[in-house]
Structure 1
Amino acid sequence: MAMAESVIDVGVLVGSLRRESVNRQVAQAIVGLAPGRLSFHEIPLGELPMYNGDLEGSRPEAVTRFADAVRRCDAIFVVMPEYNRSLPAVLKNAIDWGSKPQPENVWLDKPIGMTGISPGVIGTAAGQQHLRQVLGVLGAAVVGGEAYLTNRPGLFLPDGRLEASTEDFLRGYVLRFADFAEKLCVKEDR
């Protein structure tokens, strides 16, 4: 990205394979809240085989497509559930494939934002902490601040939007992410 007023291409990773995932609904809501300088598209995770170091030399086609898609993005936005106080296996698997082989780590210096929704009172706090730890080891640039959501009655309106206070909260986080990604993209001339 050569100019600050350019559109930032954001790949979205939804850490759930469920068709009707509330995290997918949150991802869709975020797209509607985001400023025009962000352009979102989902990068699917469902076709990736489980990570196996024996396959690194002859990467499966799905892995190559995934890594190329992440590499082409200016930034990544993760929307994930929390399973057993950690990140979902499908997301960890994608991160592992994207980090290998080491010289081709697609996460290095990549601006990343994250949120997630779960039924617990602390939302996806523990899972996001694990995700931050993993991405930190890989050299990703994760935006500061936290965006945890608790799934509760009335959170989603009949038209699929989020209720007003949650929309306002997420809009603020997405704007912070946009500013963060824009600074890094211009600095790195992605």
Structure 2
Amino acid sequence: MEKTKILAIVGSLRKESFNRQLAMAAQAAIGDKAEFEILDFADVPMMNQDNEFPAPIAVKKAREKVKAADGIWFFTPEYNHFFPGVLKNLIDWLSRPISESEPPLLAGKPAAISGISPGMSGTGIAQDHLVTLISFLNMDVMNAPRLTVPNAMQQLDAQGKLQLTASAPYLEKQAESFLTFIQEHK
């Protein structure tokens, strides 16, 4: 039996972002129960219908990764009570038809959402906005459990690396729940 494939999409392009580190912690929580890959989409250009067909190479690569994935796990920061523009831009590309004969990739795809922030909201507001968008695109959203990690600065080690403390069991629960959620939708 083929292993479940989870594609993580981190809404921050910064190499050491808290949400990238949270995605890596999720990867560790998943362990060998599934294949887990973090999508690199820094080279995806701004959505422009003038350049839609044929899609830029970076968009084609991102689409191939999404198409091959059994589930998409979003890790979003919260910028001004919203998810980042780079994440919206990627989703805009992914929401478009691949060609005149191929539909968009996101419809029906299982999705989970997590986020970490230095503030008190733990990205809850951004996550709600993201759920609105991906629900509109007909993704199959696992609404519970969702993970919101507030006060990121209190969960860093001496080198500034994320060291989940109180949030670790919640991440593990979400990882197990998402694996089950994906299996139920296969």
Contact 2:18/2:152 (<8 A) preserved = no
The TM-score, its normalising length taken from structure 2, stands at 0.90
Residue 68 of structure 1: CA displacement? 1.2
- Cα offsets for 1:125-177 (capped at 9, x unmatched): 11111111111111100112221111334413469563342110111111111
Partner of 2:125: 126
What is the correspondence of 1:166-185 to structure 2 with a 5 Å cutoff?
166-185=167-186
The match for 2:136 is 137
Give ranges in structure 1 of 5+ residues lacking alignment: 186-190
Amino acid at match of 2:156: F
Q: After superposing the two structures, state which structure 1 stretch, 164-173 or 131-140, moved more.
A: 164-173
Q: 1:175 to 1:126 in 2, by over 3 A?
A: same
1:156 aligns with 2:156: yes
Taking the aligned partners of 1:48 and 1:82, their CA distance within structure 2 comes to: 21
Is 2:5–2:69's contact at 8 Å kept on the other side of the alignment?
Answer: yes
- Contact 1:157/1:163 (8 A) holds in 2: no
The 2-side partners of 1:158 and 1:114 are apart by 28
Per the alignment, residue 147 of structure 2 pairs with: 147
SS in 2 for 1:165: coil
What is the alpha-carbon distance in structure 1 between the residues aligned to residue 136 and residue 164 of structure 2?
Answer: 36
> Which fold has the larger relative contact order, with Cα–Cα distance below 8 Å and residues 6 or more apart in sequence?
1
Give the counterpart of 1:69 among 65, 71, 75. Answer: 65
The number of residues matched between the two structures is 181
Using the TM superposition, give the Cα deviation of residue 16 of structure 1 relative to its aligned residue in structure 2, in angstroms: 0.4
Q: What is the one-letter code of the residue matched to 1:18?
A: R
Kindly tell me: are residues 158 and 36 of structure 1, through their superposed partners in 2, closer, same or farther at Cα, counting changes over 3 Å?
Answer: farther
**1:158/1:181 CA distance change after superposition, 3 Å:** farther
Letter in 1 for 2:87: L
CA distance in structure 2 between the partners assigned to 1:131 and 1:58 by the alignment: 27
Instruction: Kindly indicate whether the alpha-carbon contact (under 8 Å) linking 2:41 and 2:58 is maintained by their aligned counterparts in 1.
Output: no
Q: Which residue of structure 1 aligns with residue 47 of structure 2?
A: 51
Q: Which residue of 2 aligns with 1:188?
A: none
Tell which deviates more after alignment, 68-77 or 26-35: 26-35
Instruction: Tell me, in whole angstroms, the C-alpha distance in 2 between the residues paired with 1:162 and 1:151.
Output: 12
TM superposition shift of 1:94: 0.6
Structure-2 residue corresponding to 1:13: 9
